[in-house]
Chain A
Amino acid sequence: MTQDQPERRADTVLRRSAEDRYAPELAQLALADQGDRPPGWRMSPRAVRQFICGGGPSTRKFYGDDALIERSIVTLAGNRGLLLVGEPGTAKSMLSELLAAAISGTSTNVIQGTAATTDEQIRYSWNYALLLAEGPSERALVPSPMHRGMRLGQLVRFEEVTRCPPEVQDTLVSVMSEKMLAIPELEADAGILRARPGFNLVATANLRDRGVHEMSAALKRRFNFETVLPIADLKQEVELVRREARQELHESGVDMDLGEDVVTVLVETFQDLRRGATSDGMAVERPTTVMSTAEAVSVCLSAGLSDWYFGERKLRIESVATHIGGAVFKDKTEDMEKLRHYFQSVARTRAGQGPLGSVWKRFYAARGNLPRT
């Protein structure tokens, strides 16, 4: 690689955990915290809220509905798990990380749900060499993040819980209602792990995506659901998309400017399609694909790369039109129709009007770049 690649010191990591990044702030909050703490919690519910929504020494880390944060905290203090649902790219995982860092001081008890997640990954497994040598013992047991959270009284994060097969998901039912884990291989006392206060589950899930499984009613009952919504503010999202896309381009060795007007047109298109209506109330067809902020970043990234290597080294709206199809069209041809309809109804009327009129005009003119289905 080239030498302008940022040098990586031996003691740095690619990504630091939330409790590590915000350690001074968490310490300060805990020090000033006068409120009652639920058993096993590192700080009071109000201090947790302050950590996430800002106030005092804390900066705001989550943009959105503050009442949602309050509800989430209250849920975690009770005996039900918290299930954050919403479309991809709505910062559900970040929120779960922040909650775990503030409440338990650790956000690393994580189980990643996939179609291949097994029961052992949720409960425990064995170090087979020791198991064969010594027989079942606590030393031979390999604890899962869930096991660790229960033993230490900490929050456990379960990402993408609905990607697990239903029978694996249902392992959670007994853990959450009995708050204990049976380990029949071990002797009487050690054979039952009872959760310490402070243990609870923060899960994230996507309810509408492909490849996700239904949740059983029994499991649903053990969770309180909270819906995390996409960013509604255009300016905020444009800023975020530009920042993220520039960062990703930089990591791909490309340093280029992403014109605010071009990104604004892109993000506005995304917001309109996501909402099913333009900001001035005109209705548009909503594609079935998720028009997430992350997708907008990826459109910027591909368009940027193509302009860098094949074009004029600056982001053009025409390339955005070429690459936006990839974000909208995943597997349903009617989604492409919806995008085309958007060009006909919205882009066409915006062409030449308002401060971004010329960009919209070029965007509309480039509708031939949309992939044919």
Chain B
Amino acid sequence: MTRAPDTEGALADVGHVPPMDLNARVIYVPVRHHSPACARNVRRVLETVRPDAVLIEAPCDAEAHVSLLQADTCVPPVAIYSTWRERKGTDTHHHAAYYPLAEFSPEWVALRTAREIGARVRFIDLAYPDMVRSGLTAESGALLSLQSEDHFRHSQFLALAAQRVGARDSDDLWDHLFESAGAALDAATFFRGVLAYCACARADTSHAAMEADGTLARERHMAACIAEEQGRVVVVTGGFHTVALADTEPRRTVPDPSEASGSTLMRYSFEQLDRLNGYAAGLPLPGFYDALWRDEPTESIVVRVAREIRGDAGEPSVAEAIAAVEHARGLQRMRGHRTATREDVLDAVRSVFVKGSADVEGVRVLAAARRQLAGARRGSVPPEAGNPPLVTDFERLAAELRLELDDVRERRIVLDGYRKAAHRRCSRFLHAVRLLGVPFATFERGPDFAAGRGLDRIQEVWSYRWSPATESALIEASRFGGSIREAAAGRLEQAFREVESRDGRSARAATLVLTAAQAGLHARIPDLVPRLARLLAADAEFESVVAACAQLRLAHVSCEPLELHSETSLLELAVQAWMRAAYLLGAIGEVPEDDEETLLDALCSWAEAASAVDESIDRRQVLHEVLQSLVGRSSAGPVLSGAAHGLLHADARLSDDDVAAAVRARIAAGASVQSSGPRFLRGLLRTDRSCLWQVPALVGALDELLRVVEDDEFLALCPHLRLAFSALSPRETDRVAAMVGERAGRPGWLAGRVTSFTTADAMLGRRIDSLLSTQLEADGLSERIDG
């Protein structure tokens, strides 16, 4: 196997990992966050050494929570939620990050064991504002974790090592080396291995990168805290830091007490801990590691997964579950694992439970397996922990935006988001609260882009009132995040996933993108765009795709009020939606009569967008090609065919004669397929009314039809014809009537109508009308007339 040249030197360094000395005064314990194997060995070390102090890598400004964390009423998973409002000139930046703890987190075990052995606990990392200042940042859109282990995932060295032992990635390599083998080793040997693993990753990371992301500043602070501690000390830190801690020059950073920062202890969930859900702080499938921590045998895990997959169906059977256990054991032996790892179990699921191909039958099976292995545990915090951060954040923002929370009466505000930045912020906040489903404010009127209503208005009018229900709904919504922005983002994500997993309608997803912009969740949009693209690609409903296209165009033209200037991809998506609709249009056949109206609306919207969707390319050529093939296709329904004729005629792609011939062909068949002619006409007139007077043969053909039909046929035809002609304006109706008169040899027949209509006539008419209404009402008939 080849080795990357830049890791050559590092290999030699890693060989010098010192053995762990459990008799030293200061014992450095390298851990990986959320590793059950590390947690177990941390407990062994602490119980053996019984130190005076346990030092933990956690923000020092959160040390006040230690007693809460050690309380019996604190049940993991919980998280320390740190916030900081940074003032830069007149701007305020809001920072927030999580420090999650599961039952199998080494830090949690250190905290609880420290209580048992009576050791004091210190948090030795920088205070949260100092971490941010020293360079700790979140990847865009992701929730920031104070336990990021990106170094492992980015290490080329570990990637190569993984490749060599046949592991998929650095996570799988970790499981291979430590989770499956950890229990058999003594603590000192185990931690020496962990240190070597971390040294590999560290050897791969440049000094400049570590300076830039704050790693070195944090380590200097940690070293200073360690140096101050008396007596026997155990230092529990991420192994990446442990590698360097003993040799780091101590430099303490004293937190600035005047900072607007704080931290809260809040309940957390496995869902939030699962990295596969996009939470950077987590690990993949926490439920599996929870099972490892509880020493749950592989058999039991596999059976749980089998039951989850089985659901209401009969498969997989017990025999299959047995085979899966054997398979997992076989893989475990072949891969040299002491216990089955996460991938061993998942591979057994893939091999044994999937009866078909991985991308069809396998999808449901693996999703169910992942659901089961992700777990659903939720923690709780002691009542003394105070208000959840979401409530605090809500109150803070409301105060900032001058929303009155102490008044029991309903208040009304008018927001002019186009002109005033503060009003815009307020609108974003109220939309976010609305998205969370928290009963607080009602949108009365104004431009609502997501709903496509009131777009001609400039001001938004909201009414709001705080009630106890507001607070309880906020507490409930805390599961989505610790601040309004995060929680709204979480709720949005949930809604988007619902669309993805349910009907996959792209229109709904496109609306959610607009909702995101309205609620100020712009950071989420880059993540939603590719997912919306996938939904568009799979959406088979013409109307939905056209609606999505319209929403995306709206997002583009409203980029000023929605602050979407930088989202150029939305326009690309609109183009993609338009093209997709072009394709879908080709496959539409007969539609039920009830759906014709929506189809015609969608078709018009789509055709109108041809030149508007993207100024750089005129898509009319494609439009015409698609419509031409629709005209030539016999399977297209009459309405659609008529509408296509109309569109092409309006664009001068079909001559008057072509249209006349098509109408004649349809209407001549009228007697046999009664409604086909009028339905064709309906489509035609919807997209091109002018052909009625531009193509004289059209009226002629209709005239002939009406001459030959029998009475009962006429009765059947009549409603269809009325519907077809309902697209005409009164003036156009007159125009057609004049033509009919001419054909009938009575050119001036409309001249007899009243043209000199005075005010007195109008008054008389009104009087008659009101008398009639009164009479009808007296007779008890008014409802029937109105209805």
Q: Nearest Cβ in chain B — how far from A258, in angstroms?
A: 30
Q: Is the CB of B576 within 8 A of A283?
A: yes
Query: Could you tell me the distance in whole angstroms from the C-beta of B165 to the nearest C-beta in chain A?
Result: 11
- The distance from the CB of A212 to the nearest CB of chain B, in whole angstroms, is 12
B334–A74 CB distance below 8 A: yes
Task: Identify which of B334, B534, B576, B580 contacts A73 (C-beta below 8 A).
Answer: B334
**B120 in contact (CB, < 8 A):** no
A86 and B334 contact, Cβ closer than 8 Å, known pairs A282-B533, A341-B582: no
- A interface footprint on B316-351 (CB within 8 Å = 1, 0 otherwise): 010110010011001100110000000100010011
B354 at the interface (CB under 8 A from A): yes
- Determine if A67 and B347 form an interchain contact, defined as CB atoms under 8 angstroms apart: yes
Interface residues of A, count at CB 8 A: 39
Residues in A neighbouring B386, C-beta threshold 8 A: none
Expressed in whole angstroms, the Cα–Cα distance for A233 and B358 within the complex equals: 19
A276 to B533 CA separation, bound complex (whole angstroms): 11
Closest to B362 in A: A227
Write out the residue numbers on chain A whose beta carbons fall within 8 Å of the beta carbon of B327.
71, 74-75, 78, 224
**Which chain B residues (126-149) contact chain A, with CB distance < 8 Å?**
none
B583 touches A283 (CB 8 A): no
Q: Which residues of B contact A226 (CB under 8 A)?
A: 350-351
What is the CA–CA distance of A334 and B537 in the complex, to the nearest angstrom?
Answer: 16
Interface residues of A in 247-291 (CB under 8 A from B): 276-277, 281-285
| Complexed CA–CA distance, A341 and B629 (Å) | 13
Contact at B356–A71, with CB atoms within 8 Å? no
**Residues of B contacting A220 in the complex (Cβ-Cβ under 8 angstroms):** 355
Contact across chains for B350 and A71 when beta carbons are under 8 A apart: yes
- A25 on the interface (CB 8 Å rule)? no
Using Cβ atoms and an 8 Å threshold, which residues of chain B touch A282? 533, 572, 576
* A66 contacts across to B, CB distance below 8 A: 166
B:525-546 near A, CB below 8 Å: 530, 533-534, 536-538
Question: Is B534 a contact partner of A225 (Cβ separation < 8 A)?
Answer: no
Q: Which of B168, B347, B357 has the most CB of A within 10 A?
A: B357
Q: Does B359 contact A (CB under 8 A)?
A: yes
Q: Tell me which residues across on chain B come within 8 A of A157, comparing CB atoms.
A: none
- CA distance in complex: A28, B238 (Å): 44
Q: In whole angstroms, how far apart are the Cα atoms of A285 and B361 in the complex? A: 21
Cα–Cα distance between A281 and B573 once the two chains are bound (Å): 11
Q: Which of B330, B343, B530 has the most CB of A within 10 A?
A: B330
Interface pair A85/B357, CB less than 8 Å apart: yes
Are B362 and A74 closer than 8 Å at their CB atoms?
Answer: no
Q: In the assembly, what is the distance between CA of A282 and CA of B576, in Å?
A: 7
Chain B contact residues: helix, strand, loop or mixed: helix
Could you tell me if B362 and A78 are in contact, using CB atoms closer than 8 angstroms?
A: no
Residue B403, interface by CB 8 Å: no
Contact of A71 among B320, B347, B357, B586 (CB under 8 A): B347
CA distance A220 to B352 in the complex (A): 10
Interface size grouping (class) on chain B: 35 or more
A137 → B minimal CB distance (Å): 39
Chain B residues whose C-beta falls within 8 Å of the C-beta of A229 in the assembled complex: 358
Residue A235 is within 8 A (CB to CB) of chain B in the complex: no
Q: Are B351 and A74 in contact (CB under 8 A)?
A: yes
User: A86 — which chain B residues lie within 8 A by C-beta?
Assistant: 357
Q: Looking across the interface, which residue of chain B has its beta carbon closest to that of A345?
A: B579
Indicate if A46 sits at the interface (CB-CB under 8 A). Answer: yes
When chains A and B are docked, how far (Å) is the Cα of A338 from the Cα of B584? 10
A155 to B481, CA, bound (A): 56
B1 CB within 8 Å of chain A: yes
Given A67-B343, A345-B579, residue A46 in contact with residue B355 (CB < 8 A): no
Q: Is A80 an interface residue (CB 8 A)?
A: yes
Tell me how far the C-beta of B161 lies from the nearest C-beta in chain A, rounded to whole angstroms.
14
Chain A 65-93: CB-based contact to B (< 8 A → 1; otherwise 0): 01100110111011010000110000000
Q: Are A70 and B331 closer than 8 Å at their CB atoms?
A: yes
A67 touches B537 (CB 8 A): no
Docked Cα-Cα span, A229 to B360, in Å, equals: 13
CB A309 to nearest CB in B, in angstroms, measures: 33
Partner of A207, one of B1, B326, B351, B357: B357
Give B491 Cβ to nearest chain A Cβ, in Å: 26
Interface residues of B (CB under 8 A from A): 1, 166, 168, 317, 319-320, 323, 326-327, 330-331, 334-335, 343, 347, 350-352, 354-362, 530, 533-534, 536-538, 572, 576, 579-580, 582-583, 586-587, 622, 625
Further 14 A-B residue pairs, CB within 8 A, beyond A224-B327, A226-B350, A282-B533: A45-B334, A49-B334, A67-B343, A71-B350, A74-B327, A78-B326, A225-B356, A226-B351, A227-B357, A277-B533, A282-B572, A283-B580, A285-B583, A344-B579
